Structure formats: structure tokens, C-alpha cells
């Protein structure tokens, strides 16, 4: 039980004793006292005025007097209007620190039990026509971190991925390989498979634009040229042949997708993300088509004269949504209907969360409605974790034009930037080449992950690699360096003396212990609001407070054994909490730096 919970419970009892009223403990949950006032915790008493029938000052005073008399943790109090500022007995904080230290790596983490709800989190969702890029990185980091946080909140989490391995975009790469690939393979070109296929996707777009330009130059409008494009018609014909099971098309598809999967696996491993279950659109779209056909037979959907199938959602304030094309081929919505049905059949899902960018808000609004109309009771309970886009200082990325920031290249660049930033005297001295390379990997990728995750997921990001690796700012490397500093202190200290009873922490130490006490609440709130940013900024605040403390208070040079023991225990506990917080973001910490 945290000190906040102890004070909330004591305050709840005080209200019952003073005024004979029952109030929920959450109503009296204290918050940290503002720095300009004396105290450690503050309770707002305005909600109690109807019960006390007294002024805010009189109500706060009566509550404070009761707490000081009946709660051993309370040393004194002061009242500022309707705010009761509570001073915690200094030696009590030592016990709080002891309890946190004793919890070890489990501090702030709720165990998963047989009764834990099952939450499925979908993230990544790549297409097999191009490599992962910067936008995918934000998606993967958010999804993986959210999964770790939800598990830390006591949920049974299933991390899942849906690979979009079929469709017109896939056929574009396949057709380009047939026309202009000259039999190229990853082995013959020395390229990762996903990169090679991405090159053919760009090649298709290049030839397609050339064809359109020729048609327009011949007198067609842009719209007429697009309708007359033989290249696009061939891509659509290839998709139809794929859905009809044509052996030649299926053989090319399996070969090229295999190249892409090998490339994806390398990128995922390097990025440090994983999945418990991977679904493939090629295995789910038929289930979706069956559901659409069922909906059509039940009068839920309608067929146009050209044979295409639609849903009329105007009664729900939306428009008409295409579900099957006129040639019978499916669209993304069809696949998502099938995937959802299969997932709920495979797992006892209590909550399904889709981690997908905010440009798909409409898509998931429609998906939820369609599943509900099809009779799936869980349809309306789907959660779209909508996040903002990642842009570069020079603008948006376009896969078709080959202007994306490739995920593999970006990770290489981050590690190189870490190497340059770490080349100043005093950094990485005494490390062997292999150890130095490992530290640079941890720092470079930590900088990338922290920069992306520290920002509210709903906001757009302009990613700046240089800004992300700053050993003095709100960055991953600053927090990692603080952890490495603590590990250095503990190595030089040897055995940490046992924390003595009765030692009184200094004011700055109380602040740090109180900050440690906030960790469980921060984890719970991050899980409730789907916000890894809360964890990231908590880790930064804790690291910043500790660095100020490190410069102002002697630790290894402290002559008083009891005080030295407290400071070493405090340092060790802060280091462990920083590492645990970063682990919930998928970020590693170096022992030396």
C-alpha cells in the first residue's frame, strides 16, 4: 500500500468519525503538494463541504487535526483555503523506501492471474510490397509498449499482427518484378527481401506515371488516362487470377512474400518487438467474404448493378461503404471483418485494441458498425487506439515515390549518431570494441524509442534524430546515462549496507521517495489511458531529480553509515525503477556508459 493510499484511507475514516458520513477513498486521494507550500501530500476538501457544513478552512483544519492525532504517518499539517497540506513523519519515509526496495522488479506491477481479462493488441500490420518505414516504427513501438503496460496492469495480453499479404498493391510489385526484374532475388542482388520488393513497387509507380503522361499528351484527361491504363488493368487482372487460385500467380506471390517475411523478421528482432500470433489477410479475407455474403442474403447489405456489394450506413450518420468490388474481389474492410471473427474464435478476448494511425478513424468506425450489424455482440466494443503521424522536418513520406525513411536505415543512422555524440572525451572510455558497439546500439535505439514514445500518442511527431540523442535533455540517452551512473556508484560501493531504522531522510530524499511511490499509479494510469508517454515522462522526471540529488548530496563519501546506507538503497531503488519504467517502453539500459 502506498503512502497516498494510507492517507486516503485515514482521511476516509476521519470523515466517518467527524461527520458520520461514508465517502469512497478515491474521493480523498491526495496529490503531491505544490513546491511553493509546506507539505508532502495535499487533500482537496471542497467535496466534503456538504457533509461538514463548515467553511473550507474549518473543514480542512478538522480533518488535519484528526489525521495528526490518529495516523502515525502524519507529522503536521497546514491549511491554505480548501487545501489540506500534510507533512509526513520523516522517519516514515524510510519505511516506505524499505517496502519499495523489498518489492524488487515487481514493484508497481500487478501479477497476471487465472482471472485476468484477456486483451488482444494488434499492431504493425505491414504490407508485403515494401519494407517497414518510420511510420511503422511508431506503430510497432506504441503497440509493443502498450502491450507491456497492459500486462503490467494485470491483463493477459495477446500481441497480434495482421499481414496484408494480398491485394492490388501486392500485385503491382509482382507485375513489376515480372516485367523488369530479370529474375532478381535477394541473393543475386545482395538486398534484404523487403527492400528488393519495395524497389519493384516504386518501379511500378514510375512506369504507371510514364504511361499516364503519354496518354494525357495524346489528348486524354487525367481521369480518362487512369481508366485506360493497361498497366493498372494488368495489375487488377493479376489480382483476379490470384483470387481464382492461378498456380503461376500464386507461385510468384509465395516466393516474393517469403523474401519479405525474412526481411521483416530481421527488422522486428532488431527493433525489439514481437508477436504472439500473426494473421495473414490471405487466410482471413475468405471468411470476411462469407460474412459479407451472409449479410447480403439477410438484407443487411445490397448489390449494385455492376455486381459490387455495399453497406448503406446513412442511417448511422455515415455514407455507403464498398465491401466487395464488381469483380468479386475483396477490400480491406472485408478482410478486417474476417480477421475479427477468427480472432474471437481463437481467443477469449475481453478487449480488442487496434493500434492504427488516425487516418483510419473512419475505417474503424465503420468496422465496428458492420460487425454489430452482422450480429457480433463484441462489435461495438472494439477499441481503435488512434495515433498521430510521424513526419520529417522536410515533410511527409510517400512509399510509391520511394521517399520513405526506411526502418533499417533509420536504426543504422541512430546508432551512428550515438557513436558521434559519444565520441567526446570521457564517454565510453575503458570499454572494449564489442562492449562499445553494444552500448551504442542500446543508446541509439533507446533514443529513437524514447523520442517517439514520450509524446502523447494522439499528436503528430516531427522526428529529429539529432534532437533525440542529447545527453542533457528529455531524451532516452539522458535517462540511460542516469541509470549507468547509479550502477557505477553501486559497483564502487560494493555491498549496500542494510537500511537502518529511524534514519531521517533529507528533504530531497523525501522528494525522491515520494516520486518512487508514484510509480504504481503512473503505470495504472498509462494502462487506463493507453499512454506510454506517461511512463516515459515519469522516467525522465525521476532521472532528473536523481541527478540533482547526486550533485548535491555525497553518497560514497558520506561518513555516517546509516545515512550512507539510506542513500545507497535509494540510489539502487531508483536505478531499478528507471530500468523497469524503460522496459515498459521496450528500451534497454546499459550497465556502463
Closest CA to 574 of 533, 549, 546, 593: 546
Asked if the model's pLDDT at residue 468 lies above 90, the reply is: no
The three three-digit cell numbers of residue 201, written as one number = 513497387
CA gap 428, 447 in Å, rounded = 17
Q: What is the pLDDT of residue 495?
A: 84
Q: What is the pLDDT of residue 3?
A: 87
Residue 303 forms beta bridges with which residues?
Answer: 309
- Provide the number of structural domains found in the chain: 3
Mean pLDDT of the chain: 93
CA gap 186, 258 in Å, rounded = 11
Q: What is the pLDDT of residue 399?
A: 41
Burial of 154 (0-12, 13-18, 19+ CB in 10 A): middle
* Mean pLDDT (whole number) for 573-593: 97
User: Is the residue at 39 inside a domain?
Assistant: yes
Closest CA to 126 of 279, 349, 285, 351: 279
Contact 536, 448 (CB under 8 A): no
* Mean pLDDT (whole number) for 322-336: 90
Burial of 559 (0-12, 13-18, 19+ CB in 10 A): exposed
User: Is the residue at 103 inside a domain?
Assistant: no
The residue to which cell 489477410 is assigned: 281
Q: Are residues 256 and 305 in the same domain?
A: yes
Asked if the model's pLDDT at residue 59 lies above 60, the reply is: yes
Q: Are residues 65 and 141 in the same domain?
A: no
pLDDT tens profile 73-99: 999 999 999 999 999 998 889 999 999
CA gap 311, 331 in Å, rounded = 13
User: Is the residue at 113 inside a domain?
Assistant: no
- Residue 428 phi/psi, 5-degree rounding, is 65, 15
Q: Percent of the chain scored above 90 by pLDDT? A: 85
Beta-strand pair 74-80/83-88: antiparallel
User: Is the residue at 107 inside a domain?
Assistant: no
DSSP letters spanning 487-540: HHHHHHH-SPPPPPTTPPPPHHHHHHHHHHHTHHHHHHHHHHHT-HHHHHHHHH
Q: What is the pLDDT of residue 429?
A: 77
CA gap 336, 341 in Å, rounded = 9
Q: What is the pLDDT of residue 27?
A: 87
**Type and span of the H or E element at 477:** helix 476-493
CB atoms within 10 A of CB 26: 8
Q: What is the pLDDT of residue 62?
A: 97
Residue 302 forms beta bridges with which residues?
Answer: 310
**What is the pLDDT confidence band of residue 157, given thresholds at 50, 70 and 90?**
very high
Q: Are residues 385 and 422 in the same domain?
A: no
Q: Are residues 340 and 414 in the same domain?
A: no
Q: Are residues 377 and 426 in the same domain?
A: no
Asked if the model's pLDDT at residue 396 lies above 80, the reply is: no
pLDDT tens profile 534-575: 999 999 999 999 999 999 999 999 999 999 999 999 999 999
Q: Are residues 381 and 266 in the same domain?
A: yes
- Can you list the pairs that 375-380 forms with residues at least 24 positions away whose Cβ atoms lie under 8 Å? 376/340, 376/341, 376/344, 378/344, 378/349, 378/352, 379/340
**What is the pLDDT confidence band of residue 401, given thresholds at 50, 70 and 90?**
very low
User: Is the residue at 400 inside a domain?
Assistant: no
Q: Are residues 462 and 411 in the same domain?
A: yes
Asked if the model's pLDDT at residue 395 lies above 70, the reply is: no
Among residues 391, 416, 432, the one where a domain terminates is 391
User: Is the residue at 93 inside a domain?
Assistant: no
User: Is the residue at 396 inside a domain?
Assistant: no
**Type and span of the H or E element at 269:** helix 247-271
Least confident of 239-243, 461-465, 518-522: 461-465
Q: Are residues 228 and 326 in the same domain?
A: yes
| Residue 66 structural domain | 3-88
Contact 177, 202 (CB under 8 A): no
Q: Are residues 232 and 342 in the same domain?
A: yes
pLDDT tens profile 222-280: 999 999 999 999 999 999 999 899 999 999 999 999 999 999 999 999 999 999 999 99
Closest CA to 566 of 106, 3, 74, 91: 91
**What is the pLDDT confidence band of residue 394, given thresholds at 50, 70 and 90?**
low
At a CB cut-off of 8 Å and minimum separation 6, what does 70 contact?
10, 13, 14
Among residues 391, 418, 443, the one where a domain terminates is 391
Among residues 67, 88, 109, the one where a domain terminates is 88
Asked if the model's pLDDT at residue 402 lies above 70, the reply is: no
Domain CATH number, residue 159: 3.40.50.620
DSSP letters spanning 9-44: HHHHHHHHHHH-----GGGG--EEPPTTSS-SEEEE
Q: Are residues 279 and 424 in the same domain?
A: no
Residue 88 forms beta bridges with which residues?
Answer: 74
pLDDT tens profile 356-368: 999 999 999 999 9
Q: What is the pLDDT of residue 469?
A: 85
User: Is the residue at 565 inside a domain?
Assistant: yes
Q: Are residues 412 and 534 in the same domain?
A: yes
Angle, helices 134-152 vs 247-271, to 10°: value is 60
pLDDT tens profile 344-353: 999 999 999 9
Query: What 3-state DSSP class applies to 550?
Result: helix
Domain CATH number, residue 428: 1.10.730.10
**What is the pLDDT confidence band of residue 425, given thresholds at 50, 70 and 90?**
low
**Type and span of the H or E element at 280:** strand 277-280
Angle, helices 332-346 vs 361-373, to 10°: value is 60
Asked if the model's pLDDT at residue 398 lies above 60, the reply is: no
Angle, helices 193-217 vs 168-180, to 10°: value is 90
Domain CATH number, residue 46: 3.30.1360.70
CA gap 394, 462 in Å, rounded = 9
CA gap 534, 525 in Å, rounded = 8
Q: Are residues 179 and 268 in the same domain?
A: yes
The three three-digit cell numbers of residue 162, written as one number = 495482421
Amino acid at each position: 500500500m502506498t503512502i497516498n493510499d494510507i492517507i486516503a484511507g485515514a482521511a476516509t475514516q476521519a470523515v466517518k468519525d467527524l461527520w458520520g458520513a461514508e465517502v469512497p477513498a478515491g474521493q480523498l486521494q491526495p496529490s503531491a503538494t505544490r513546491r511553493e507550500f509546506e507539505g508532502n501530500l495535499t487533500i482537496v476538501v471542497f467535496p466534503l463541504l456538504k457533509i461538514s457544513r463548515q467553511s473550507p478552512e474549518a473543514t480542512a483544519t478538522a480533518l488535519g487535526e484528526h489525521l495528526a492525532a490518529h495516523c502515525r504517518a502524519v507529522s503536521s499539517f497546514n491549511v491554505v483555503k480548501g487545501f489540506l497540506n500534510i507533512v509526513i513523519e520523516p522517519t516514515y519515509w524510510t519505511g516506505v523506501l524499505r517496502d519499495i526496495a523489498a518489492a524488487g522488479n515487481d514493484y508497481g506491477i500487478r501479477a497476471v492471474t487465472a482471472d485476468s481479462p484477456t486483451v488482444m493488441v494488434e499492431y504493425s500490420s505491414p504490407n508485403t510490397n515494401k519494407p517497414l518505414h518510420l511510420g511503422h516504427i511508431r506503430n510497432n513501438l506504441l503497440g509493443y509498449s502498450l502491450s507491456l503496460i497492459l500486462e503490467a496492469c494485470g491483463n493477459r495480453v495477446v500481441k497480434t499482427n495482421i499481414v496484408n499479404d494480398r491485394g492490388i498493391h501486392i500485385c503491382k510489385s509482382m507485375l513489376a518484378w515480372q516485367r523488369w526484374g530479370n529474375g532478381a532475388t535477394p541473393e543475386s542482388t545482395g538486398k534484404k527481401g523487403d527492400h528488393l520488393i519495395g524497389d519493384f513497387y516504386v518501379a511500378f509507380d514510375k512506369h504507371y506515371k510514364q504511361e499516364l503522361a503519354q496518354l494525357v499528351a495524346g489528348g486524354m484527361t487525367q481521369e480518362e488516362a487512369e481508366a485506360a491504363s493497361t498497366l493498372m488493368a494488368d495489375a487488377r487482372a493479376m489480382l483476379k487470377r490470384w483470387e481464382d487460385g492461378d498456380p503461376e500467380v500464386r507461385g510468384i506471390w509465395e516466393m516474393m512474400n517469403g523474401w519479405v517475411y525474412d526481411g521483416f523478421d530481421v527488422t522486428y528482432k532488431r527493433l525489439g518487438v514481437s508477436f504472439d500470433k500473426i494473421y495473414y489477410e490471405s487466410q482471413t479475407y475468405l471468411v470476411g467474404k462469407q460474412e459479407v455474403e451472409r449479410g447480403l442474403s439477410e438484407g443487411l447489405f445490397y448489390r449494385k448493378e455492376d455486381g459490387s456489394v455495399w453497406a448503406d450506413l446513412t442511417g448511422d450518420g455515415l455514407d455507403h461503404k464498398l465491401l466487395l468490388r464488381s469483380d468479386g474481389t475483396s477490400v480491406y474492410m472485408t478482410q478486417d471483418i474476417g480477421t475479427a471473427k477468427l480472432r474471437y474464435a481463437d481467443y477469449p478476448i475481453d478487449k480488442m485494441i487496434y493500434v492504427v494511425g488516425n487516418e483510419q478513424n473512419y475505417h474503424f468506425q465503420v468496422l465496428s458498425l458492420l460487425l454489430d450489424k452482422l450480429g457480433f455482440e463484441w462489435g461495438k466494443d472494439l477499441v481503435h487506439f488512434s495515433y498521430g503521424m510521424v513526419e520529417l522536418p522536410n515533410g511527409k513520406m510517400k512509399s510509391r515515390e520511394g521517399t520513405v525513411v526506411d526502418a533499417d536505415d533509420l536504426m543504422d543512422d541512430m546508432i551512428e549518431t550515438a557513436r558521434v555524440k559519444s565520441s567526446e572525451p570521457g564517454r565510453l572510455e575503458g570499454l572494449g570494441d564489442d562492449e562499445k558497439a553494444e552500448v551504442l546500439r542500446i543508446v541509439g535505439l533507446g533514443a529513437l524509442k524514447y523520442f517517439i514514445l514520450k509524446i502523447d500518442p494522439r499528436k503528430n511527431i516531427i522526428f529529429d534524430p539529432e534532437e533525440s540523442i542529447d545527453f542533457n535533455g528529455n531524451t532516452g540517452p539522458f535517462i540511460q546515462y542516469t541509470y549507468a551512473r547509479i550502477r557505477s556508484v553501486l559497483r564502487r560501493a560494493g555491498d549496500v549496507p542494510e537500511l537502518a531504522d529511524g534514519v531521517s531522510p533529507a528533504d530531497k530524499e523525501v522528494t525522491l521517495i515520494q516520486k518512487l511511490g508514484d510509480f504504481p499509479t503512473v503505470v495504472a494510469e498509462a494502462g487506463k489511458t493507453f499512454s506510454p508517454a506517461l511512463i516515459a515522462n515519469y522516467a525522465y522526471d525521476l532521472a532528473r531529480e536523481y541527478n540533482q540529488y547526486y550533485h548535491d548530496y555525497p553518497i560514497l563519501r558520506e561518513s555516517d553509515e546509516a545515512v550512507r546506507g539510506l542513500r545507497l538503497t535509494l540510489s539502487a531503488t531508483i536505478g531499478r525503477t528507471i530500468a523497469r519504467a524503460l522496459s515498459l517502453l521496450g528500451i534497454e539500459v546499459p550497465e556502463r556508459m
